[in-house]
Chain A
Amino acid sequence: MIRRCLLTASIVAFPVAALAQTAPAKGARGPDWIAIGMFLIIVLATLVITYRAAGSTKSKAGFYTAGHAITPLQNGLAIAGDFLSAAAFLGISALIYANGFDGLIYALGFLTGWPIVLFLMSERMRNLGSYTFADAAAFRLDRTPVRLVAATGSLVVVLFYLIAQMIGAGKVIELLFGINYLVAVAGVGILMILYVAVGGMQATTWVQITKAVLLLCGGTLLALVVLWRFDFSLGALFAGVSRIHPKGAAVLTPGGLFAEPVSAISLGLALVFGTAGLPHILMRFFTVKDAASARKSVFYTTSCVAYFCFVIPVLGFGAVPILMSDPSYFNVGASGQFNRITDLIGGPNMAAIHLAHAVGGPVLLGFISAVAFATILAVVAGLTLAGASAVSHDIYGQVIARGQASDRREILISKISAIVIGIIAVLLAYAFEKQNVAFMAGLALSVAASCNFPVLTMAIFWRGMTTRGAVAGGLVGLFASVVLVVLSKTVWVAVFHFATAPFPYENPALFSMPLAFLSAWLFSVTDRSARAARERAAFEAQFVQSEIGIALATSDRAVPAATA
């Protein structure tokens, strides 16, 4: 029983992972012309957006931030589009379909990251930085080591998240449209490179806004049709769920996924603080004109994500009575028996897609499939742009060229980086197709929570932070996350096939995050160098600028990042 719980936990521990593992060939649909038509309309629309945005990428501000000219509502939607991945849409509705209540806790964890982003990060980030979160982290610290650590953290998060998303995307597109996995992955790769390299932040933003609107409308439409089936009575819906789900009424109450407190809290930490440390999300605060707009953006995003948290359970729970009573959605065995969760055609991640077909026929199926596709595109584009910016702005522009690079050269490097990151992501997504990649999304969130988040928050809130502390904290958080994930079951057992894992928990955040904070503190307070004294003394000027956003004109020391 406990083994079974653990097994379920490992399968669903990160929705992307489950996405990546489900694609029995017999589950693939043939070409579905309505779906393909809508898919082509979306691709065409995003290419028009990209073409029109191409002129905006001549300056650094234009390329990285769409000229700081995005409105709060637009940015709020774009952040939601950046954040709500196919793993959130298909993965969490599948978790709720399979595990009921426990799946909802995942959604709550993602939502709870947002108030933290608002209270701690959004305004100060905007006041201290211009293009990437490293601008704020390195504001008063030595830019070379701090930016290298921040850029490494960003690139690790971006690459693992991107590969996990790409593998999921390839599988979903293979199932939805019946095209070959490699073609699907390469197609997604080419589109995301085009958006980023040609249209920069302007194109990425509008692809994300389009996706957010499509996802919210599509989700609402599907939820309304489902509720209509139950005469808009939640009681009737839940009664239907309890009647047919293999777990019975227990599906509406806490199950096994969060039964073990240490694992549960560790996962919760990764979900909440990982969200607050994702480089592609943090980067979006620079697209608006000031801190007040950044704050308003997060309110719109929180509202969108919260609304999504209501819609997703309706889809996940609604799929239970509607699909489980209809064998045509399952791979039925010779004896006519089928498992109502694992035998769903294409795996549980297809629950929302099958639901669209069950309640709305081929038209709704086509629409929701196209929405799922748009969802994937917007997230991978945001990740690629964040990765390219870490290379071109942090590593090339600030470390190699010491802030002296021309806009043209830095943008060129960024575009080349986007192409290289895109190609690497496609190749790795192809190489890892048959591998167990359950650890990737978890590792990305854990590094974001244990490297990016501690370095950034301590640099902007704590006077005593020094360069030595930032480097030590960031590297300890990064290495602790990677080592503990490798020693955990998701890699040690699932990838390396050892019998038992030395590290007994799924997610390392409960250990790696405090370690990172502790190291940053310890290596700062013991730092007696002249540089450390200067950095502590510079806190007050940083504090003033982080509160009111005016760059102090006359300088005892230049503040390059803040004046753009």
Chain B
Amino acid sequence: MPQSRSEQVREILANPAFRELASGRAKLRWALSIATLIMFFGFIALISTARDALAATVAGSAMPLGLVLALAMIFIVVTLTGIYVQRSNSRFDELTHALKREFGQ
């Protein structure tokens, strides 16, 4: 006797594994998105307001601070995507597979 779709949806929504997956991934998703946007638009704001500070050279090198920050941002962007992918590949995929086994066709 197949379930109706709304019954199945209700059952999955109430499932503890699904709740852990959905809330855990939502937290990670929004936290990382906000961090990324604050970093980029913060940097843009800094460029248009504190140009002189960014022109100062970093102690012990010929590199201006702004250039060092810009290059650092490239690393940070890759690190943030890496964090998301790593967490998803391990914990979230595990939960997804378990849910698919339980509810999938």
Q: Contact: A115 with B96, CB < 8 Å? A: no
Q: Contact: A235 with B45, CB < 8 Å? A: no
Instruction: Mark the stretch among A58-66, A370-378, A475-483, A545-553 that contacts chain B.
Output: A545-553
Q: Contact: B36 with A115, CB < 8 Å? A: yes
Question: CA of A547 to CA of B95 in the docked complex: distance in angstroms?
Answer: 11
Which of A264, A540, A544 has its CB near the most chain B CB atoms (within 10 A)? A544
Query: When A and B form their complex, what is the total count of cross-chain residue pairs whose Cβ atoms lie within 8 Å?
Result: 168
Q: Contact: B62 with A239, CB < 8 Å? A: yes
Residue A38 at the chain B interface, CB threshold 8 Å: no
Q: Which of B44, B62, B81 contacts A235 (CB 8 A)?
A: B62
Q: Which of A252, A549, A554, A556 contacts B2 (CB 8 A)?
A: A554
Q: Contact: B48 with A548, CB < 8 Å? A: no
Q: Contact: A299 with B82, CB < 8 Å? A: yes
Q: Contact: A261 with B36, CB < 8 Å? A: no
Instruction: Mark the stretch among A7-15, A303-311, A462-470 that contacts chain B.
Output: A303-311
Q: Contact: B73 with A108, CB < 8 Å? A: yes
Q: Encode A524-564 as 1/0 by CB contact (under 8 A) with B.
A: 00000000000000001101100111111111110000000
How many of A's residues come within 8 Å of B, CB to CB? 56
Q: Contact: A252 with B64, CB < 8 Å? A: yes
Residue A238 at the chain B interface, CB threshold 8 Å: yes
Which of A101, A115, A309, A310 has its CB near the most chain B CB atoms (within 10 A)? A115
Q: Which of A111, A291, A292 contacts B77 (CB 8 A)?
A: A111
Hey, which chain B residues are within 8 Å of A253, CB to CB? 51, 54-55, 64, 66-67
Residue A104 at the chain B interface, CB threshold 8 Å: yes
Q: Contact: B64 with A265, CB < 8 Å? A: no
Hey, which chain A residues are within 8 Å of B88, CB to CB? 123, 292, 295
Q: Contact: B73 with A258, CB < 8 Å? A: no
Question: CA of A309 to CA of B74 in the docked complex: distance in angstroms?
Answer: 7
Residue B71 at the chain A interface, CB threshold 8 Å: yes
Q: Contact: A268 with B5, CB < 8 Å? A: no
Residue A418 at the chain B interface, CB threshold 8 Å: no
Hey, which chain B residues are within 8 Å of A272, CB to CB? 37, 40
Q: Encode A205-248 as 1/0 by CB contact (under 8 A) with B.
A: 00000000000000000000000000000110011000000000
Question: CA of A260 to CA of B9 in the docked complex: distance in angstroms?
Answer: 50
Q: Contact: B89 with A292, CB < 8 Å? A: yes
CB distance from A322 to the nearest CB of B (A): 18
Are A101 and B25 CB-contacts (below 8 A) given A260-B48, A264-B44, A548-B96?
A: no
